Amino acid sequence: MPTFDQHCAEATAAFGAPFEEVHRWLDELAGRPPWGMRHRRFRHHAAGIEEVRQRWGDSAALVARQHIVADLRLDGWTPEDPFPRNEPDYVRMGLF
């Protein structure tokens, strides 16, 4: 999984700012029992991106998608696969 610093560096390179608050929010549950790295099921999907859009705007939503795609790729997801819509969809796809 990309580290917080790597996510911030990727956001800065692509969007001109690190968007630290977005990365912190997306990974807020990481490592917490009982979820650990299975935290992604809660915010790493289209519904999570929309929540980011509501909180921080359109640019932040693009950053959230970049973050989520980087993490999904580590789980074997490819751009040809459907993008998870929400938590149940994420779980159904076997991504957690």
Backbone torsions φ then ψ of 83, nearest 5 degrees: -85, 130
The SS3 of residue 4 is helix
Neighbours of 25 (CB within 10 A): 19
In tens, the pLDDT along 35-54 reads 887 899 999 999 999 999 99
Q: Is the pLDDT of residue 57 over 90?
A: yes
- pTM strictly above 0.95: no
| Tally of structural domains, the chain | 1
Structural domain that includes position 50: 4-92
Cα–Cα dist 44/69, whole Å = 9
Tokens of 36: 């650990």
Is residue 48 within 8 A of residue 26, CB to CB? The reply is yes
